[in-house]
Amino acid sequence: MIQKKLIKKQRAAVLILLLLVIITAMAGLATGYAPLNISRILPALAGHGTFKEQFILFDVRLPRMIITLLAGMALAVSGAILQGISRNDLADPGIIGINAGAGTAVAVFFLFFPVEAGSFIYMLPLVACLGGLATAALIYPFAYEKGRGLVPVRLVLVGIGFATALGGLMVILMSSSDSRKVDFIAKWLAGNIWGTDWPFILAFLPWLIVLLPIVWYKANRLDLLSLNEASAVALGLSIERERAGMLLIAVALAASAVSVTGGISFVGLIAPHIAKSIVGPRARLYLPVTMLFGGWMLLLADTIGRNLVEPEGIPAGTVAAMIGAPYFIYLLLKK
């Protein structure tokens, strides 16, 4: 039985976060390269704006905000799952090498396949996903021990090793002669939201629609996994299978998000922490808060980064890391 007080708290948190998302979105619309007057936002949304207003809102800003929000949510949930299954509160898809794997796949794709404007854009998310999954598939056997199954600590360590090694491999790209490619990849790695058009949202949304309900359905098992192994077994959980399944979901969420946003760390680390500190350690309670917080955090990071330098901006991933790291250090010191 979940305490009524906690449920109330969760509802309040969700409401406040929704409010923050809306405020941040409004601020994002009202600032930047082509600002929209706040009083004109509602009419433009309703379809009564001028052509310019409509264009800015529906073709430039809105898709970018939606994709940022969705990607932040996916990363946050992925982080929550990774922290649960590795029983390590410092796990994050960026830190344990999933982003690096996706990035390497993108880089290899860039190197060996010709870039064509049309099909290329739609291939990239898929390639990134495959890269993330391949990395996870490589990490898994090294983190696995006969008789003990997946060793959570090793999952994290091996992931970091892979992330570092893949980072070294990525240097190959920097020596690639085509400067246009180098620039794109450098920005991708830094977490520059680039998939800012409606087709990307359509490509990305199905992943969330399929995966998030599965996570919700498995939330109680996630709680058990994050307890110690003995109690999880005693409660009748097939730990190995659950862990592998959850890992797969976490990777798919992170890789699909990263494919449109570029390498973003720390969102998956911080969002679950904040959520847990507000509503406690039950997955059903903290998952919605985690999701909203992740979305809001990335939206905020992108809004800040976009306005810092005209007209290109600083990648959202860079801003997120700068916000995230101090919090991470605080966590290290607190524990």
Applying CB under 8 A, the residues found at the interface with another protein are: 88, 90, 94-95, 142, 145, 148, 151, 153-154, 156-158, 160-169, 171-172, 174-175, 182, 186, 190, 265-266, 269, 308-309, 312, 314-315, 317-322, 324-325, 328-329, 332-333
* Closer CB to another protein, 47 or 168, in the complex: 168
* Closer CB to another protein, 178 or 312, in the complex: 312
C-alpha 195/C-alpha 124 separation (Å) is: 10
**Distance of closest approach, residue 80 Cβ to another protein, in angstroms:** 17
**Distance of closest approach, residue 177 Cβ to another protein, in angstroms:** 10
Q: Which two tokens stand for residue 105?
A: 């796949």
**Distance of closest approach, residue 230 Cβ to another protein, in angstroms:** 15
DSSP codes of every residue in 163-201: HHHHHHHHHHHHT-S-HHHHHHHHHHHTT-----SHHHH
* Closer CB to another protein, 123 or 322, in the complex: 322
**Distance of closest approach, residue 89 Cβ to another protein, in angstroms:** 10
* Closer CB to another protein, 25 or 257, in the complex: 257
The answer to whether 184 and 309 have CB atoms below 8 angstroms apart is no
* Closer CB to another protein, 36 or 190, in the complex: 190
If DSSP codes are grouped into helix, strand and coil, which group holds residue 69?
helix
Q: Which two tokens stand for residue 205?
A: 């949304």
Beta strands in the chain, from DSSP E residues, in sequence order: 144-145, 149-150
C-alpha 140/C-alpha 321 separation (Å) is: 26
**Distance of closest approach, residue 156 Cβ to another protein, in angstroms:** 7
* Closer CB to another protein, 135 or 196, in the complex: 135
**Distance of closest approach, residue 14 Cβ to another protein, in angstroms:** 28
The answer to whether 28 and 61 have CB atoms below 8 angstroms apart is yes
C-alpha 62/C-alpha 242 separation (Å) is: 37
> What backbone phi and psi angles, to 5 degrees, belong to 145?
-130, 135
